[in-house]
Chains A and B, each alone.
Chain A
Amino acid sequence: GEDVEQSLFLSVREGDSSVINCTYTDSSSTYLYWYKQEPGAGLQLLTYIFSNMDMKQDQRLTVLLNKKDKHLSLRIADTQTGDSAIYFCAESIYSGGGADGLTFGKGTHLIIQP
């Protein structure tokens, strides 16, 4: 079955880099995603990576994928107070038009220390 694991909490100082880690079990995962959820709000897609890629960078965000170890990470450079949120890792198996949802991890609560 599908399973996505994340640490529940991460605390970093403002200005430092944050690295949020995720492991998954389904080797046929095609796409892996990072979503951000601010308090009382829905989920916002931050970025996603195709399984044949090792790295993807988008401004302050860097996604690293180790497909062999089924490990995904999200690095946030120069972490700001506005980055405080819960970050969800998710995976999917794209079926070319099928109605597949995503399998989510439990989310990592990123806490920013001043």
Chain B
Amino acid sequence: GQNIDQPTEMTATEGAIVQINCTYQTSGFNGLFWYQQHAGEAPTFLSYNVLDGLEEKGRFSSFLSRSKGYSYLLLKELQMKDSASYLCAVRDKRGSYIPTFGRGTSLIVHP
């Protein structure tokens, strides 16, 4: 099975940087995903990490350490529209394409 832990809620100021952490315990590992979900909408893909290190994509970056079972999503130059839930999801190595999602971190960006 899998156990995924991320903070329930975070707040940050417009223009600032915020780091959302995710820790996981899996029997195997075949990739970690971050999705963004605005209230009442479907999740949208942000990033995928399968090797250790930092993946940068515009204002968003995602980091993975497989040995520590740890990832973070870094959001720079925060905008009000970044207020959303950020979901960490992990896929184990049982040959499945199916990720297991964490409960999500609700990020509130205020002026």
A and B: partners? no
Taking Cβ atoms with an 8 Å cutoff, the residues of B that contact A are: none
Q: Which residues of A contact B (CB under 8 A)?
A: none
